[in-house]
């Protein structure tokens, strides 16, 4: 039986500076057996490949012109959908001051995530990275948890800047 694809076009959301992760995950959660997701985006959503791959989806991506991409996410026979968001660090103690600060507000996805992960990998366990972003980093959070890093974050009083603190290796140490 061929996979029936449900269309999700996140290009308008991305062009308006929004974060489409919630809409994508809601669409994934509503898929019926034999259905897949046809995603239209303004960039190749490489971080999403890993997120949905860990939920049992394979993908085929192609550029469709003008920098836009079409990605077909097909479910594996035993795919399970877990839409539980990554949780921030549960410790309430003081963290050390950041040894590195990044301002990624002017970068288009997925560049902020790529830069943050690269910087974190170059840091020693226990060190803290501070980063400013123009949206909540929905793709980044599960990656941080998967790599054993703890994080704290939220929107600044301006309502436009998301500040995240990442403590390298802290989640591994707590386990």
Bridge partners of 131, per DSSP, are 102, 164
Bridge partners of 75, per DSSP, are 57
Q: pTM value?
A: 0.57
pLDDT tens readout for residues 157-170: 988 999 999 999 97
Q: Give the percent of the chain with pLDDT over 70.
A: 89
**What distance in Å separates the CA atoms of residue 42 and residue 54, rounded to the nearest whole number?**
23
Where is pLDDT greater, at 89 or 58? 58
Domains delineated in the chain: 4-75 (3.30.110.40), 100-174 (3.30.110.40)
pLDDT tens readout for residues 55-76: 888 999 999 999 899 999 998 7
Angle at 107 between CA 106 and CA 109, to 5 degrees: 140
pLDDT tens readout for residues 93-102: 789 999 999 9
């Amino acid at each position: 039986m061929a996979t029936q694809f449900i269309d999700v076009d996140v290009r308008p959301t991305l062009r308006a500076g929004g974060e489409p992760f919630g809409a994508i995950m809601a669409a994934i959660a509503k898929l019926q057996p034999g259905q897949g997701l046809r995603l239209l985006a303004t960039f190749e959503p490489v971080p999403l490949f890993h997120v949905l791959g860990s939920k049992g989806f394979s993908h085929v991506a192609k550029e469709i012109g003008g920098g836009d991409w079409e990605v077909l996410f097909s479910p594996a026979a035993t795919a399970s959908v877990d839409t539980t968001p990554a949780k921030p660090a549960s410790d309430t103690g003081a963290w050390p001051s950041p040894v590195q600060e990044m301002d990624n507000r002017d970068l288009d996805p997925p560049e902020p995530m790529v830069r943050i992960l690269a910087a974190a990998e170059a840091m020693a366990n226990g060190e803290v990275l501070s980063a400013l972003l123009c949206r909540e980093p929905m793709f980044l959070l599960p990656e941080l948890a998967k790599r054993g890093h703890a994080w704290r974050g939220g929107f600044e009083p301006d309502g436009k800047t998301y500040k995240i603190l990442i403590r390298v290796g802290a989640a591994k140490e707590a386990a």
